[in-house]
């Protein structure tokens, strides 16, 4: 059975929020929109965002790292938001594993958001229904779009190409390969929810010069020594 998901490469994510804003733009006009904003020009603007970027700082100066973690519904395989829904509005699709909310059946009781261990549900205070990432289901199945564009908006827009989309059960998919090749992991596996979205770890490039230092890198530039000696023997300033 297919399980569509996002794979996010933290090795190249610069935390620019492009994915979050383009998601908001797409989905606010899309079939699962709008994404309401409250107090947009006032004291405490807020709103519905299917995708948010969280920033963490790890370590102490100067050995400190900054991680930007974009987070949207992880489309869990054992989605805790589904069984708690009293009306069946919250459901997981058989064919592709996408977790959706049927707004017609949602009574806005918020049980699903209480039970989501990852805090990935977004309540629309105006419509009084629960909303969330749909993996741009209204894009990925839109046959009027060229095949290259049948991807979630966040994937298409990401300037760092940090996001992959595909069936993580399909060994041929980009997403599957990325997880296998790069050691993809899920957030807090202990929740038992078996999230489908994966993250790729950061790697740091280090250069090893020891071999070159041994063989070639010597402080023996003739011109350097010539000028150096001249300076040492003459105090005269040019």
Partner 1 sequence: MSIGGSFYEEKNYSTCYMCACRCGIEVYKRNGKVVYIKGNEEHPLNRGVLCAKGSAGIMKEYSPARLRKPLLRVGPRGSGQFKEIEWEEALNIAVEWIDSARRKNPAKVAFFTGRDQMQAINGWFAQQIGTINWAAHGGFCSVNVAAAGLMSTGYSFWEFGDPDFENTRYLMMIGVAEDHASNPFKLGIQELKRKGGKLVFVNPVRWSYGAIADEWIPIKPGTDGAFVLSLAYVLFKYNLIDWEFLKERTNATWLVINKRGTSEDGLFYRDAEGNPLVYDKVSRSFKPAKLIVPEGLNPAFTGEFETPEGFKVRPAFDIFAERLIQDYEPTKVEKITGIPAKDIERIAKEIGTIAFFNPVELPLEWTDVWGRKHKTIRGRPVSFHIMRGVASHTNGFQTARAVFLLEMLLGCIDTPGGHLAKPPYPKHIEDFPKPIKIRSLKDLKYDKPLHGSLLGIPQNPDDLLVDKEGNPLRIDKAYSWEFPIAVHGCIHNVIPCAYKKDPYPIEVLIIYMANMAWNSSQDIPYIIKALTAKDSAGNYLIPKIITVDAFYSEQVAYSDLVLPDATYLEQWFALSLLDRPPSVADGPVDALRQPVVEPPEGFDVKPWGDVMIELGTRLNLPGFIKEDGSRKYRDFKDFLVNWQPKPGVGVLAGWRGEKGDKHFIGEPNPDQLNMYVKNRGFFYYRLPEHMRYNRHINRDYLEWAKAVGFVKRTDPIIMNFYLESLQTFRLAGLGLWKGENQPPEDPLIRDRLVKYMDPLPFWYPPFEEDISGDQYPFYAFTVRPQWMYHSWDSQNAWLRQISTRNYLYMNPNTAEKLGIKHLDWVWVESRIGRIKCQVFLTQATEPSCVWTWNAIGKMSGTWGLEETAQESQLGFLLNHIIPYNFRTGSREFFYCDPVTGHFAWFDLKVKIYKAEDQKASAEPRYSVKPLPHIEKRRGKILRYKP
Subset of residues 161 to 190 that bind partner 1, contact rule: CB under 8 A? 161-162
Name which of 26 and 118 has its Cβ closer to partner 1: 26
If one asks whether residue 144 binds partner 1 (CB under 8 A), the answer comes out as yes
If one asks whether residue 96 binds partner 1 (CB under 8 A), the answer comes out as no
* Residue 198, φ and ψ in degrees, nearest 5: -120, 160
**86 closest CA partner among 104, 111, 117, 103:** 111
If one asks whether residue 142 binds partner 1 (CB under 8 A), the answer comes out as yes
The correct pick among 64, 94, 147, 171 for binding partner 1 (CB under 8 A) is 64
The correct pick among 12, 82, 187, 194 for binding partner 1 (CB under 8 A) is 12
Query: At its nearest, how many Å lie between partner 1 and the CB of residue 99?
Result: 14
Residue 53 CB: number of other CB atoms within 10 A?
A: 18
If one asks whether residue 209 binds partner 1 (CB under 8 A), the answer comes out as yes
If one asks whether residue 207 binds partner 1 (CB under 8 A), the answer comes out as yes
> How many residues belong to the site for partner 1 (CB under 8 A)?
86
The correct pick among 94, 147, 148, 233 for binding partner 1 (CB under 8 A) is 148
The correct pick among 1, 59, 95, 233 for binding partner 1 (CB under 8 A) is 59
Where does this chain touch partner 1 (CB under 8 A) — which range of 5-13, 74-82, 113-121, 185-193? 5-13
User: Length of the chain, please?
Assistant: 238
Name which of 107 and 217 has its Cβ closer to partner 1: 217
What is the footprint of partner 1 within residues 18-47 (CB under 8 A)? 18, 20-22, 24-26, 28-31, 33-34, 36-47
Where does this chain touch partner 1 (CB under 8 A) — which range of 165-173, 183-191, 192-200, 225-233? 225-233
| DSSP of the chain | ---EEEEEETTT-----HHHHHHHHHHHHSTT----EESTTSSS-EE--SEEEEEEEEEETTEEEEEEEEEE----TT-TTTTT-SSS-EEE-TTT--EEE-TTT-----HHHHH-TT---EEETTTTEEE---TTHHHHT-TTS-GGG-S-HHHHH-TT--EEEEETT-TTSHHHHHHHHHT-B-S-GGGSS--S-EEEPP-------HHHHHHT--S--HHHHHHHHHHHH-----
The correct pick among 5, 7, 8, 13 for binding partner 1 (CB under 8 A) is 13
If one asks whether residue 62 binds partner 1 (CB under 8 A), the answer comes out as yes
Residues 163, 7: contact at Cβ < 8 Å?
yes
Query: At its nearest, how many Å lie between partner 1 and the CB of residue 218?
Result: 7
């Amino acid at each position: 059975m297919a399980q569509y998901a996002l794979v996010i490469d933290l090795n190249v994510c610069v935390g620019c929020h492009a994915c979050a804003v383009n998601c908001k733009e797409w989905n606010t006009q899309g079939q699962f929109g709008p994404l309401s904003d409250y107090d947009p020009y006032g004291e405490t603007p807020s709103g519905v965002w299917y995708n948010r970027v969280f920033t963490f700082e790890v370590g102490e100066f100067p050995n400190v790292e900054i991680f930007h973690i974009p987070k949207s519904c992880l489309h869990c395989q054992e989605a805790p938001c589904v069984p708690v829904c009293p009306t069946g509005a919250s459901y997981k699709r058989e064919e592709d594993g996408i977790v959706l909310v049927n707004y017609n059946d949602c009574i806005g009781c918020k049980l699903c958001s209480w039970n989501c261990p990852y805090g990935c549900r977004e309540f629309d205070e105006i419509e009084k229904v629960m909303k969330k990432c749909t993996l741009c289901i209204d894009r990925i199945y839109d046959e009027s779009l060229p095949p290259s564009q049948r991807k979630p908006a966040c994937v298409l827009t990401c300037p760092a190409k940090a996001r992959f989309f595909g069936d993580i059960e399909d060994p041929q998919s980009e997403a599957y390969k990325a997880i296998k090749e790069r050691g993809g992991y899920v957030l807090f596996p202990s929740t038992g929810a078996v999230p489908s979205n994966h993250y790729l770890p950061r790697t740091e490039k280090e250069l090893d010069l020891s071999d070159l230092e041994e063989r070639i890198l010597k402080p023996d530039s003739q011109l350097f020594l010539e000028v150096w000696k001249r300076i040492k023997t003459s105090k005269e300033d040019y």
